[in-house]
Structure 1
Amino acid sequence: MKQRTSILAVLLCMAATAVNAEPVEVQAGPTHVRLEFYTPQTVRVTKAPVGHQYESHSLVVIAKPEEVKVTRSGNTVSSSVLTVKIDPKTGALTFLAKGKVLLREKGAPQFEARTTGPDAGKYRVTQTFSLDRHEAIYGLGTFQNGKMNRRGEHKLMEQSNLEDFQNVLQSIKGWGIYWDNYSRTQFDDDAVKGMSFSSEVGDCEDYYMMYGGSADGVIAQIRHLSGDVPMFPLWTYGFWQCKERYKSAAEVLGVVDKYRKLQVPIDGIIQDWQYWGSNYLWNAMDFLNEEYANGDQMINQIHQKHAHFMISIWASFGPKTQAYHQLNEKNLLFDFETWPQSGLPFWPPRMEYPSGVRVYDAFSPEARDIYWQNLKRLFDKGTDAWWMDSTDPDFFNPQDYHYDHKAGPNGTWRSLRNAFPLETVRGVYQSQRKESDQKRVFIMTRSAFAGQQHYGSGLWSGDVTSSWDMLRKQVPAGLSYSLTGCPNFNTDIGGFFCGSYNTKGPNSAPTNPQYQELYVRWMQYALFCPVFRSHGADAPREIWQFGKKGEMVYDIIEKLIRFRYRLIPYLYSTAWQVTRNNDSYLRPLFSDFAYDKKVWNMTDEFMFGHSILAAPILEAQYTQEQIIREDAMTGWDKKTIKAENGDSVVDWSDHKIATKYLPKGTTWYDFWTGKSYRGGQMITIQTSLSHIPMFVRAGSILPLGPEMQYVSEKKWDNLEIRLYPGADGDFTLYEDEGDNYNYEQGIYSVIAFHWNDRTHTLSIGDRQGQFPGMLTVRKFTVVLPDGTSRTVDYSGQEIMIKLI
């Protein structure tokens, strides 16, 4: 967008004027200010020094400005929702809605000129804002510090293995900001100095102020700007097994076979790195390791066993790969040092034998095309899903932070650095969509930027340590990520590095009671994540590693996996609400209960969809909690820290107690017992290792499916409909073919359920829509909290059921 100096003298004292979708541009002291409403709720703010010509092309925002009626009077610009007041001396803005101040800029922006290198002529850009004294703010990304409220935070936001940043912030007051800058950005909040964003490189200040009125409203606005959330395949919501790493096709098939033999449900198996062979062939995107000589046959056999296959791919290539040569010929590889550093398969790395692995320039459309051309080999072999590792990407040397390589057509590495994961994921999504609409894109990625929800991807939280402290941190990390508009979050169940629990020799952690308790509690948390996936290093995590049928830990794990499958009708219907209505899976309690200040900073409970209150146990109750201090790099050093009392005998049948808070404003039911509680109080409940504290709000209608070995094994021809009286309620059951993108053409069905609490009547509405293979006749078994039930026949026409 070229700035037009001819309009810089627009007067602020004009009479009230109505304009339609035209940006408002003014000169305020030394600053040129431009306001452009994208919707009545969202205004884009760009600022630059007067006379500075700039272009500002967003990698994130794909929406176009709507025809928004804007009224201008003096120094005030208003839509039907948002009002912006401009300080004529400094250009500082004040944002209001419904006559109340939402947010104020604290003075003019700061532009610190960059005078050397490829970024010369640009600026370090800083803007400070004033917040209310007790105003809570949320989002920004997956901070691994156990906090959710960003007040008092000081963080250099740069993508890494464990933390990822989206530059989307929202307030308990219902406003949000997307700071549209891709360089490393310092975020600070100080009670005296204010809240600020300071980005290393910018051609101008560029951000979007959004008013949603609530957390959900802000999420709707950022998704309007950056894109909606496409549906994942139905099978992605089943159980996934992985480890670092399976070393042969035979081992992969053996794992699937054993799950089937034990009759423990599974839907996905993941192949981690080095199926390509040596580090010099790093990420060759082909089965070049001799142990995978028949990789395509392996995938076919996995499919025959009714499972799906995900494979690890990276953002870098070894010097002996085809992709490396194709990219290098066109100068589309970065020069900084990345993982793996050595070409030899030893740890620690032998630096005298450098790997030569280099990261590709994901900002280049041509490089993204070459990437897909090589990845297509695996796609053509039948690969179902992509595990995009090191999308941060990894780099090690301090000077790499200042690497000035030209990146794509739009800037330097320094100026675009944080958007790398967005661009590499976008490239795979768009290429696969062009290739075929018969298989939905499913990507797990280690890093994410704003807008990444639009490209068939979900984030996992990186190589987290196996500790109670880290488990507790995953809850606010996932909630914070969801508040940026990106809903798909998951973690390595049990943590990635579990070596500290190998007290009886290699791979012994799963028989160590300390690790068993941690693993079970982590799995109980993960039960409420969109992806339910066991993975890690230092010891295998398959269910039989923890014991055998009839032993308590084994039986608890099996029970949890089976229960996950019962939740899938609720979860898949929630997925539809995420896609269609800008909903979220993981919801901080203030999303639904903002009027209850006790939940504003709560990090150990959350809503799973709109009905279920998940309150997992996040502290050791049966064993001693081990303090483990490792990070994403030291974990690879295979330290010899050992867990204390790891050999102790534990009576898992003992009962414990836990205290949980139930938000006020509704009645809550214990999912397991049906007992009801008044909201707004702490309650003490009896627990056991097998027990997951889980409550359902009054007015909820909760569909449960049959137990299955895989998601398509059984039809949903007699769903259990759990009904929780005490308030009116609605639920929409969503169904489609389970894969492909036909749903985008309206090929799906929905059935609306409504509970009238006054008349004690459940209505099951007319089925809307259809799809191939749809059930035309079915049963629903309605179950009340006291266990009473009633089964009804349903053939697609509305029926009314009088209950109680």
Structure 2
Amino acid sequence: MEATTQSRSDAGAAARPEAVVERGEVRFTVLTPRLVRLEWSAGKAFRDGRTQIVVRRGLDVPPFTLVEDDRFIEIDTGPLRVRYEKHSGRFAAANLAILVRRAGEAVTWNPGDAQKANLGGTYRTLDRYEGDTWQDGSKLPLEDGLIARDGWHVIDDTESFGIDGADWVTERPPGERQDLYFFGYDRDYRAALADFAAIAGPQPLPPRFVFGYWWSRYWNYSDEELRTLGARFEKERIPLDVLVLDMDWHTTPGLSLRVGHEHKDVFGEPSGWTGYTFNRSLFPDPKAFMRWARGQNLRITLNLHPASGMMPHEERYEAMARALSWDTSTQAPIPFEGASQPYMRALFDTVLDPLERQGVDFWWLDWQQWPESKALPGLSNTWWLNHVFFTEMQRDGDRRGLIYHRWGGLGNHRYPIGFSGDSVISWASLAYQPHFTSMASNVLYGYWSHDIGGHTFDKKIPRPERHLEPELYARWMQLGVFSPVLRTHSAKEASLHKEPWHFGPPCGDAIFAAIRLRYQLAPYIYAAARHAYDTGVSIVRPMYYHWPEHEEAYAYPGQYMFGNDILVAPVTVPAGADGTAPFPVWLPPGRWYSRDGAESFEGGGVLERSYTLGEIPIFVHPGSVVPLYPEGLRDLASVPDTLILQVFPGAEGCTSLYDDDGTSQGYRRGEFARTRVRNRRDGQVHRVHIDGMDGRYRGQPASRAYVVEFLDAGIPERIEVNGEILPYSAEPRPRTWLFDAAWLCIRVDLGAVPVDEAQDVVARFAPEHAPPEGLLHRMRRASDAVKYLKQVWGDVSALPDDVDLAGQGARVLAYAVDEGDDEGRPERFAEAVRAFEARFAGLPASVDATPIDEAFKRGFNDMLGR
């Protein structure tokens, strides 16, 4: 933290001279065509160093024109025209105007203008909020975002503290000043975010393990209990990457005074939260526990509440006191001050670094005390602790920085991950979190981690009535799959369990399926995280980023884009008596496919459907190629040898697979690789071309096994790979293909191939073998409906044969195609499909002719979607 330590250069903090127009007390800097910095200084002292918000201004200078006379100066970038009256003092409505050219009518901004339609940013915490409502009925005081339907936004950086070359805070410049950044972007919201990322820094790419499953519970776990928990995860074949230890891991201060009705430490702050010494009654040998965790490929984070300083009972008290020349004779606590370089240096060197050497991977900063530094009033403790801990971690070798803390304000997007706090357990909280998460991308805060399932119950609910609804938890876990971070957590209540095996079917099945899906999607999510670093567009982002001209993109905040290809609308309402939950989804113009490719939908309207607990409204662009890992992963510590490429129907599409070492900062230095995959359907030929891997990084494999899945594809005449005709196989084998009737999917197994060699996969079809649209959906509906009938009706012997056969549509189709002799039989595919369609069409009449109760018949037809 001092100039002698490894420090970050201020190179690039100052703008290039050719971007600057300085005239007396004012300075204008053209940063991009849509972004101009406006400075006024009574003492003509302008700021070129880094601030809390802005860290880089040395961007490529865009073309602009400068026109001035004795009275006015005018700068025109194309999208913007800045006009200022010279020698007229600080910026005001009377002397400064910026014209924003828009697709429709141009807009003029003057200092003091209020935005009318800001699209929102984020807020420090959701502690004790039920949805967006506090217990007294007040609403969450959201901060503004960087984008608005007004087409412009202004960041006032005047009061920001500076950051020096050693990453330490500096005082604000003296004197009367204005330091404004004007963004004018019309409806090009993604361009505004890219401009902000260019000056405020990108969203860092977290370590790969962050995107796995985090287990967290506020509980006084012992070493033995955690080992038992880990063994149960392994037994249940549930992957796990991060183990979070809440504050009971440490001893609590013994020095407290009785003040009123609260226990407070000698500083008047709440006592009992701060601690740095393992509780040996829970962890007799912390090093051994850490060795066990590392052997399980588990990452460890410990909870810190550093406000009470260093108490004399702590194991490292003497060492820290020596580092600070602190008199220990009185056994007085060493008071906390985050803005003190000596204090923080001593805390890291003598207290936290030894714990990291034992095995702590990163820190959960649970700061809940006074809002501002006592040494530097105005400096947010939350913001500053995020900065200090993150940058300190990045100094340690080549590790990626990682913390786990609340939002501290603009610029904090550089320090992921966010902890949203202790939200109330309710459907209202679940319904608000998709909107809250996607809206945070408007300030580039793309990595909120929520307490999946909620944290605590509303205090008005009596304790005997407090229980976590299994359906609510299952739906929350489904949201977690499509969140930046999947982390369960809960309050310290003995009855509040979130272990997946605690729930029976169907909710337990949905929870297990959610975790498995998260790990399968890991390569897609990791590539989206890299995209966020490159562009400023977060993994979870609102619909209006892509469709800003459509009112529906603003009117349905509970749905969002998850990466570039997947639209998600997590179900956030309970099911009705029929076991389904109605949930309308706005589909943007164009065609969309369900996640399994079984159904296609024409967008441009609202899709009104109901969903069973096992269904999540997920929609994918036509032609998309979604990379997946195979099922069965234990963790994300290493990359599997096999990658599945799911190819959705559509004329064409492409994706870029992303790889790096998953842990180091090499990705910032160009140490990564991309593999482009192109998909094209032309008539009866469907081609998927996998380029050779482009780039190099540490640990790069020489080969990779690819499995290409053509969804909703029917059965082909033949499959070729690099011109070689692959044989059919009834079982998965390298260098063969099979037809999976349960998914109507062609699965081509390329086997292990060199990563730097291109692979060209071609499926050739005959027109008569193409499946009718929606066939897979109908087969699944029939299967579900027949299962329902057998469960609710005691006498199934009177069921017509066609009903049972329709319920086994996929199996019958599989037998027709494959007779067990490794000979795919496309000629029998169309015949089997026609037979199923006839059975499906006749199902209502077949069941109606039986003596089944009318209520069961209605339920059966509902399951069919009739």
Matched-pair contact (CA < 8 Å) for 1:307–1:710: no
> For residue 229 of structure 2, what is the aligned residue in structure 1?
255
Compared with structure 1, are the counterparts of its residues 358 and 255 closer, same or farther at alpha carbon in structure 2 (3 Å cutoff)? farther
Q: Secondary structure at the match of 1:93?
A: strand
Does the CA-based 8 Å contact 1:369-1:431 persist in structure 2?
no
Q: Deviations over 1:576-621 (max 9, x none)?
A: 2122333311110011111222112421100111111111111222
Tell me, in whole angstroms, the C-alpha distance in 1 between the residues paired with 2:60 and 2:506.
Answer: 62
Find the counterpart in structure 2 of residue 320 from structure 1: 311
Query: TM-score, structure 2 length as denominator?
Result: 0.69
Asked if residue 476 in structure 1 is aligned to residue 458 in structure 2, the reply is: no
The C-alpha deviation readout for 1:741-791, integer Å capped at 9, x for no partner, is 333343332210122355643221121123425151422222223533141
Indicate yes or no: 2:137 matched with 1:139.
no
- Asked if 2 retains the 8 angstrom alpha-carbon contact of 1:62 and 1:226, the reply is yes
Q: Deviations over 1:617-662 (max 9, x none)?
A: 112225xxxxxxxxxxxxxxxxxxxxxxxxxxxx8xx431423233
Identity across matched positions, percent: 21
Counterpart code for 2:96:
A
Q: Does 1:707 find its partner at 2:707?
A: no
- Residue 191 of structure 2 corresponds to residue 217 of structure 1: yes
Could you give the per-residue CA deviations for residues 449-484 of structure 1, whole angstroms, max 9, x where no partner exists? 2222323x1212111111122222212211121111
Q: Which residue of 2 aligns with 1:37?
A: 30
The one of 760, 766, 785 aligned to 1:800? 760
Asked if 2 retains the 8 angstrom alpha-carbon contact of 1:283 and 1:316, the reply is yes
Does 2:748 align with 1:788?
Answer: no
String of CA shifts for 1:669-692, please: whole Å, max 9, x gaps: 111462000111111223112221
Alignment counterpart, residue 394 of structure 1, candidates 361, 369, 376: 369
Residue range with higher mean Cα deviation, 495-504 or 667-676: 495-504
**Equivalent residue number for residue 577 of structure 1:** 531
Pairwise mapping of residues 56-135 of structure 1 onto structure 2 (< 5 A)?
Answer: 58-66=51-59, 68=61, 70-74=64-68, 75-79=73-77, 81-86=79-84, 90-97=94-101, 104-107=108-111, 128-131=112-115, 135=117
Partner deviation per Cα, 1:165-216 (whole Å, 9 max, x = no partner): 5x642124654433325689xxxxxxxxxxxxxx9x9953322123456222
Q: What CA deviation, in whole Å up to 9, does each residue of 1:478-508 have, x standing for no partner?
A: 11211111211121011111376987849x7
Q: In structure 1, what is the equivalent of residue 11 of structure 2?
A: none
Check conservation: 1:136, 1:171, Cα contact below 8 A.
Answer: yes
Deviation at 1:272, TM superposition (A): 0.6
1:605–1:615 CA contact under 8 A, matched in 2: yes
What code does the residue aligned with 1:41 have? Answer: R
Match of 2:562 among 608, 611, 614: 608
Secondary structure of 2:655's counterpart equals strand
SS of the equivalent of 1:170 reads coil
Task: Say whether 1:426 aligns with 2:381.
Answer: no
Match of 1:525 among 457, 467, 479: 479
Name the CA shift for 1:37/1:713 in 2 (closer, same or farther; >3 Å). Answer: closer
Other-structure match for 1:170: 147
The answer to whether 1:287 aligns with 2:278 is yes
What secondary structure, in the 3-state scheme, does the structure 2 residue paired with 1:291 have?
coil
User: What secondary structure is seen at the aligned counterpart in 2 of 1:292?
Assistant: coil
Distance change in 2, residues 1:691/1:724 (3 Å)? same
1:762 pairs with 2:760: no
**In the alignment, is the contact (CA less than 8 A) between 2:205 and 2:533 conserved in 1?**
yes
Residue 363, structure 1, aligned to residue 339, structure 2:
yes
416, 420, 424: which one pairs with 1:461? 420
1:242 Cα deviation from its structure 2 partner: 0.8
C-alpha change, 1:565 and 1:53, in structure 2 (3 Å) is closer
Q: Single out whichever of 93-102 and 566-575 deviates more from structure 2.
A: 93-102
Structure 1 counterpart of 2:575: 621
1:452 aligned partner = 412
Q: How far off its partner does 1:447 sit?
A: 2.5
Equivalent of 1:778 in 689, 705, 723: 705
Q: 2: distance between equivalents of 1:792 and 1:593?
A: 37
Q: Which residue of 1 aligns with 2:520?
A: 566
How many aligned residue pairs are there?
Answer: 657
Q: Cα distance, 1:34 vs. partner?
A: 3.1
The 3 A distance-change label for structure 1 pair 433 and 304 is same
- 5 Å matches for 1:176-191? 176-180=153-157
1:302 match: 293
Shift of 1:389: 1.1
Is the CA contact 2:212–2:519 (under 8 Å) kept in the aligned structure 1?
yes
Q: CA deviation at 1:97?
A: 4.2
Separation in structure 2 between the aligned mates of residue 472 and residue 458 of structure 1, nearest angstrom: 22
Report which stretch shifted further, 265-274 or 750-759.
Answer: 750-759
Which range is displaced more, 468-477 or 489-498?
468-477
| TM-score between both structures, scaled by the size of structure 1 | 0.73
Q: Matched residue of 2:515: which SS?
A: helix
Change (3 A) 1:655 1:251: same
Match for 1:547 among 502, 511, 522?
502
Q: Secondary structure at the match of 2:483?
A: coil
Partner Cα distance (1:706, 1:98) in 2: 47
**Which residue in 2 is equivalent to 1:194?**
none
Distance in 1 between residues matched to 2:363 and 2:634, nearest whole Å = 20
- Pick closer, same or farther for the CA change 1:387–1:405 going to 2, 3 Å: closer
Within the candidate set 565, 588, 604, 2:542 is matched to 588
Residue 729 of structure 1, aligned match among 653, 664, 679: 653
- Rg bigger for which structure? 2
Cα deviations by residue, 1:508-529 (Å, 9 ceiling, x for unpaired) = 724xxxx222211111111111
Residue deviations 1:678-709 (CA, integer Å, cap 9, x gap): 11111122311222111112232111211234
Which structure 2 residue ranges, 5 or more long, are not aligned? 1-15, 89-93, 133-137, 162-171, 256-271, 327-331, 714-743, 766-866
2:84 aligned partner, one-letter code: I
How far apart in 2 are the matches of 1:573 and 1:358? 45
- Asked whether the 8 Å contact 1:670–1:695 carries over to 2, the reply is yes
1:509/1:539 contact within 8 Å kept: no
Partner of residue 488 from structure 1, selected from 432, 439, 447: 447
More helix by share: 2
CA distance in 1, matches of 2:621, 2:309: 53
- Secondary structure of 1:702's counterpart equals strand
Pair 259,505 (structure 1): closer, same or farther in 2 beyond 3 Å: farther
- Preserved contact between residue 119 and residue 439 of structure 2 (Cα < 8 Å): no
Aligned equivalents of 2:759, 2:236: Cα separation in 1: 41
Give yes or no for contact 1:163–1:461 (8 Å, CA) kept in 2: no
Q: 1:604 to 1:377 in 2, by over 3 A?
A: same
1:574: Cα distance to partner?
1.2
The partner residue of 1:24 within 22, 25, 30 is: 22
Of residues 788-797 and 584-593 in structure 1, the stretch that sits farther from structure 2 once superposed is: 788-797
* Secondary structure, counterpart of 2:610 in structure 1: strand
Pair 47,99 (structure 1): closer, same or farther in 2 beyond 3 Å: farther
Aligned CA distance change for structure 1 residues 262 and 539 (closer, same or farther; 3 Å): farther
Q: Aligned match of 1:664 in 579, 582, 588?
A: 588
Residues 757 and 584 (structure 1 numbering): CA distance in 2 closer, same or farther, change over 3 Å? Answer: farther
Change (3 A) 1:538 1:315: closer
Distance in 2, Cα, partners of 1:315 & 1:332 = 20
1:381 is matched with: 358
Whichever residue aligns with residue 218 of structure 2, its letter is E
5+ residue gaps, structure 1: 1-17, 27-31, 108-127, 149-154, 157-161, 185-198, 334-355, 396-400, 408-412, 623-650
Instruction: Tell me the CA shift for residue 277 of structure 1.
Output: 0.7
Answer 1 or 2: which has greater strand percent. 1
What secondary structure sits across from 1:492 in the alignment? Answer: coil
Q: Which one scores higher on RCO, CA 8 angstroms, separation ≥ 6?
A: 1
SS in 2 for 1:72: strand
Letter in 2 for 1:273: M
- The CA distance in 1 between the partners of 2:232 and 2:141, in whole Å, is 35
After superposition, the Cα gap between the structure-2 partners of 1:54 and 1:802, relative to the gap in structure 1 and judged at 3 Å, is closer
- What is the distance in 1 between the residues matched to 2:417 and 2:22? 37
